[in-house]
Amino acid sequence: MAEVIEVGPGGMVDGKEVTMYVKKGDKVICSKYAGTEVKIDSVEYTIVRQNDILAVVEE
């Protein structure tokens, strides 16, 4: 499980408009090997595409 830190604006992908359904602060579950791991100021982040998010966890 991960927390969404930031969300992109969406846009056009393959001629189709993509609307973002996740928002900052959401808890999500992603595919096991999804995303790109980056380290900024000794904090590790994973950048994922919205279609790699399997579920939004409601608390």
CATH class label, 2-57: mainly beta
Which of 16, 26, 17, 14 has the alpha carbon at shortest distance from 48? 26
Amino acid at 23: K
Query: pTM for this one?
Result: 0.77
**Strand runs labelled E in 5-42:** 11-13, 16-18, 27-30, 36-40
Domain range list for the chain: 2-57
Q: What integer pLDDT is reported at residue 59 of this predicted model?
A: 74
Mean pLDDT by 10 residues, the chain (59 residues): 92 88 94 92 93 90
Length of the chain equals 59
Cβ neighbour number for residue 45 with a 10 Å cutoff: 14
Q: What integer pLDDT is reported at residue 29 of this predicted model?
A: 95
SS3 51: helix
